[in-house]
Structure 1
């Protein structure tokens, strides 16, 4: 899948969970959604993109969720 599409999809998920009043719950929600609904190859590609790119195009909340839950998502 093209990385631009993955970034866009991840940001849409992040936008949804950003409305949650509890920050940790939002981070957990993003990670759980990616784990539950994304193919492992999609998650690996997104994580590789974050590792390889200074400006990944991901919203800060998504980047934080990926960082905190990397072991679960990788």
Structure 2
């Protein structure tokens, strides 16, 4: 995925993280559920890879949510 595409995913993830962050409790799990339901697999894979390489630009909630998705994927494998 191109650098611009990853930047767009980071921006989108942070916006979603901001929304779920306002809920305080369960923010990361709520965001992970949203990404699971509404993001295409290639988008989830690209953002997960970005987190594996440091996650530059992502909010803490977004990073936590993406790590939850990665852990679920490993558990299902």
Alignment TM-score, normalising by the size of structure 2: 0.80
Counterpart for residue 26 of structure 1 = 27
1:14 aligns with 2:14: no
* Higher relative contact order structure (alpha carbons within 8 Å, sequence separation ≥ 6): 1
1:14-70 deviation line (CA, Å, top 9, x unaligned): 000001131xx2111100000000000000001111112x35210011111222332
- The 1:47–1:21 alpha-carbon spacing in structure 2 relative to 1, beyond 3 Å, is closer
Preserved CA contact (<8 Å) 1:7 1:46: yes
In 2, Cα distance between equivalents of 1:73 and 1:6: 19
- Partners of 2:36 and 2:21 in 1: how far apart? 18
Kept after mapping to 2: 8 A contact 1:66/1:73: no
- SS at 1:69 equivalent: helix
Gaps in structure 2 of 5+ consecutive residues? none
Aligned to 1:58: 58
The root-mean-square deviation of aligned C-alpha atoms, in Å, is 1.8
Give unpaired runs (5+ residues) of structure 1. none
How far apart, in 2, do the equivalents of 1:55 and 1:69 lie?
A: 14
